[in-house]
Structure 1
Amino acid sequence: MVLGGPNRPGESQGNGFAATPIVSLRLSVNDVPVSLWLKLEGYAPHGSIKGRVAQALWQDISSRIGPRTEIIESTSGNLGLALASLAARHRVPFTAVVDPRSSGAVVAAIQSLGGRTVTVDTPDGAGGYLLTRLGYIQERLRDQPGMLWPNQYANPANPRAHALGTAPELRTQLPRRPTSVLVAVSTGGTLAGFRDYVTAARPDWELIGVDVVGSAALGGRRGPRLLPGIGASRQSAFLPQGYRPALRVAPAEAVSACVWLRESTGIGVGASSGALVAVALRLFRAAPHRGSVTCLCPDGAEHYLGTVFSARWRERLPVVDVARGVEVTAVESPRFDTLPGPVGLHEGRVVP
């Protein structure tokens, strides 16, 4: 059973969104009991945490949308799907610029909503396709008047959606005890928003960024990357000085964690969530009495059935057992009947 904390799934949080559910896994790691919390953003509008970002971006650009406007955005998949849905609702043409690593299911879903997809297939020389996607957008902006780019990579609406929404929502759902909160990095907007919230509201959290090997999102050496939705070919504009603490994960570790989680609990999450779970298990082993780790899981398993959850696809990866010495003893989602009121918002500022 999965519940949403003070609001059940489907009940409004006051920002137009329902609270996404949180589930607690009671684990034994090398015979030490620990708690792993998973906030499942696959239950958010449009099927991922990017639904929150899309709504914030749309609100930011809405005053600039006219009768001849066409919206264009670079996306690995999830944000494009969310924007395609909003564009269809408002009858605004939308183009998603994707690449060969984007989920075929997500691309098809964007098209089913009336969105146009353009697949760039030239690697950017930095381990991915991001720079190629952005180059295509710059060409379209130059050549086609009326083209509007929300720019998820630098628009302050991206981190603000998390500083004023996702992070305080999570705080109302967790027990008021110390925990390490793990956030995956791509544009860096989620981590920057959580950083801003933690700085202002000061929950008892250790905030840790999680990136993949080969990503330059937090600085460091660029290299080939396999998984969509985590990592980037360039440093995050929201985190120009990088972020610490941060940990990196190899693709095989993230995939192993996804498979272990589904097989041991029935909970399906995407590749970036697998990276978080892999780091959580690593942290528990390194500090057996850490006690609690929380993962902000960006999406579910449905867009990864042909990759992460395909045995044939996984043959390209080395075999890694991230769950060695780990036993799931219970899967719980406790009802918090008495919680302090949610952290409030006042004139766009976080109020503890």
Structure 2
Amino acid sequence: MQLENNVTHMPPTPVISLRLFVEGIERTLWLKLESYSPYGSIKGRTALGLWRDVAERVDPDVGIIESTSGNLGLALAALTAAHRVPFTAVMDPRTSASVLRSVQALGARVVTVDQPDGAGGYLLNRLAYIEQRTDEDARLVWPNQYANPANPGVHARWTAPELHAQVPTDPLCVLIAVSTGGTLTGFRNFTADSGCGWELVGVDLVGSAALGGSTGPRVLSGIGASRRSRYLPHGFNPAVRVTSQEAVSTCLWLLRTTGIALGSSAGALVASALRLFREVPHRVDAACVCPDGADRYTDTIYSPEWRRHNGVTEIEVADGVRVISPVCSAPEIATVGAPAGKAEP
């Protein structure tokens, strides 16, 4: 437990602010950069919560298995390597090749499930594979990020209070990307228990069933799901759904205008924040809990070839938006090789 205790006492992940004019009204957009979390993403926090929940049940000769689109797998691979426990990461073809190689470099076994599940993704078939494996060997532990209360619990006790201490603005609109729904549920529970008065907004992809609705083709990893969130069986209100084009285009716009390089889920959050700013003139402060940075997406959303292959065309997302105080020194800029203010070829 000493490893986990040291990690959870790390300094808070940074929050940076962008001052914007949106259709003539000054707004502040707060970005909480979870790329500075343990293991490089917000899923590092989730992994610690899940590990603490199952550690006493883990057979050191058999280990654990988990379904993951990338970030949780990387965090669990690091944790299990530190504890010398076998880990099998069940992934799919949308996982970034660089993330997959990193998971393997940490000694984890990667199983790629490449059969689409008929609901716009691969999740249902990844879960079917895990159920088959755990049926075959009862010693194999599945932390189950999709239904384990430890997932939302770690965000209610750690991530949400951390943001509240950093951005005491009231009122504040807080946007959370949804895949399992664990982070949003944790923030909802914190908001209810603390009475802080946040306006929480769930952000999902078009074609995702995570918050309900019909499924469809999706190309982004880390946001959206082929089934409804087990933590939010009745959905969530308010919720915003964005397209892959909006999310990716927002990432590219942010990089070129501010030097900030974020992952695709964060792009979806910022796109949603801009939409909400336009819709409600009195909404002047919004915070995006950005799950990761651009380092996980150099061979996907920041790759022109990947975008062409997946039919993700860049669109206008910042009409009527002017950045007043851009941040041009974010460390993530070096990971994508496109200096702020220069268009990517």
Identify whether the pair has TM-score above 0.5, normalized to the shorter chain. yes
Query: CA–CA distance in 2 between the matches of 1:32 and 1:243?
Result: 28
Query: CA–CA distance in 1 between the matches of 2:193 and 2:46?
Result: 21
Aligned residue for 1:330, secondary structure, equals: coil
Q: 1:180 aligns with which of 173, 177, 185?
A: 173
TM-score by length of 2: 0.90
Shift, 1:68, TM fit: 2.5
1:262 aligns with 2:255: yes
1:121 aligns with 2:114: yes
Q: Counterpart in 1 of 2:305?
A: 312
Q: Counterpart in 1 of 2:320?
A: 325
1:151 aligns with 2:160: no
Report matched runs for 1:213-228 at 5 Å. 213-228=206-221
Q: Deviations over 1:292-341 (max 9, x none)?
A: 111000000011111211123223223311111211111479xxxxxxxx
Query: CA–CA distance in 1 between the matches of 2:327 and 2:165?
Result: 17
Q: Counterpart of 2:316 in structure 1: which amino acid?
A: D
Report matched runs for 1:23-62 at 5 Å. 23-62=16-55
Query: CA–CA distance in 2 between the matches of 1:31 and 1:144?
Result: 61
Q: 2:61 aligns with which of 68, 72, 89?
A: 68
**Which has the larger share of helix?**
2
Query: CA–CA distance in 2 between the matches of 1:173 and 1:145?
Result: 44
Query: CA–CA distance in 2 between the matches of 1:40 and 1:296?
Result: 7
Q: Deviations over 1:141-184 (max 9, x none)?
A: 11124211000000000000111110000000003321110000
Q: Contact conserved, 2:58 with 2:140, CA < 8 A, in 1?
A: no
Q: Counterpart in 2 of 1:199?
A: 192
Q: Contact conserved, 1:29 with 1:288, CA < 8 A, in 2?
A: no
Query: CA–CA distance in 1 between the matches of 2:300 and 2:260?
Result: 17
Aligned residue for 2:324, secondary structure, equals: strand
Q: Deviations over 1:96-119 (max 9, x none)?
A: 000000011111000000001000
Shift, 1:193, TM fit: 0.5
Q: Counterpart in 2 of 1:133?
A: 126
Query: CA–CA distance in 2 between the matches of 1:262 and 1:96?
Result: 31
Q: Deviations over 1:192-233 (max 9, x none)?
A: 000101111011311000000011111111111110000000
Q: Counterpart of 1:217 in structure 2: which amino acid?
A: A
Query: CA–CA distance in 1 between the matches of 2:34 and 2:210?
Result: 21
Q: Runs in 1 of length 4+ with deviation above 4 angstroms?
A: none
Query: CA–CA distance in 2 between the matches of 1:47 and 1:319?
Result: 27
Q: Counterpart in 2 of 1:110?
A: 103
Q: Counterpart of 1:35 in structure 2: which amino acid?
A: T
Query: CA–CA distance in 2 between the matches of 1:14 and 1:59?
Result: 13
What root-mean-square deviation, in Å, do the aligned CA atoms of Structure 1 and Structure 2 show? 1.6
TM-score by length of 1: 0.89
Q: Contact conserved, 1:222 with 1:233, CA < 8 A, in 2?
A: yes
Q: 1:282 aligns with which of 269, 275, 278?
A: 275
Query: CA–CA distance in 1 between the matches of 2:60 and 2:269?
Result: 42
Q: Contact conserved, 1:128 with 1:232, CA < 8 A, in 2?
A: yes
Q: Contact conserved, 2:257 with 2:326, CA < 8 A, in 1?
A: no
Query: CA–CA distance in 1 between the matches of 2:172 and 2:106?
Result: 40
Aligned residue for 1:121, secondary structure, equals: coil
Structure 1 unmatched runs, 5+: 1-11, 334-352
Structure 2 unmatched runs, 5+: 329-345
